[in-house]
Amino acid sequence: MKVEWAPRALHEWENTVRYIYREFGRKAAEEFKQSVAKWEARIAINPELAHQESLLKHRDKLYRGLIVSKYNKLIFYVEEDIVYISDLWDMRREPSRLSRRLK
């Protein structure tokens, strides 16, 4: 399957990489980037690897959440043969904000 990132998700990814680089260094930022890329490749092969995101059960789309690092989760859904990554969610945030972000 093909994977497409929503602009919000890509923006969050870039901000997270910059934050990790600034706070923890180049090696930590590279490890984060590799982890996200690894999980992105895995969900392209098998998107059912991730569970349904419980905070988004009431939505029309079946959103799935996959933890890609200690504090981050990829939120995505599948339509036809495309995996759409909707958000890179920092799990330290207030959970109710996730539902509001994905309107």
Closest of 22, 1, 97 to residue 75, by C-alpha: 97
Residue pLDDT tens, the chain, 103 long: 899 999 999 999 999 999 999 999 999 999 999 999 999 999 999 999 999 988 888 888 999 999 999 999 999 999 999 999 999 988 888 776 766 666 6
Name the region of 10 (left: φ>0; alpha: ψ -120 to 50; beta: rest): alpha
Q: What is the pTM of this model?
A: 0.87
84 membership: H or E segment, kind and range: strand 82-90
5 close to 40: Cβ distance less than 8 angstroms: no
- Token readout for 8 is 């919000």
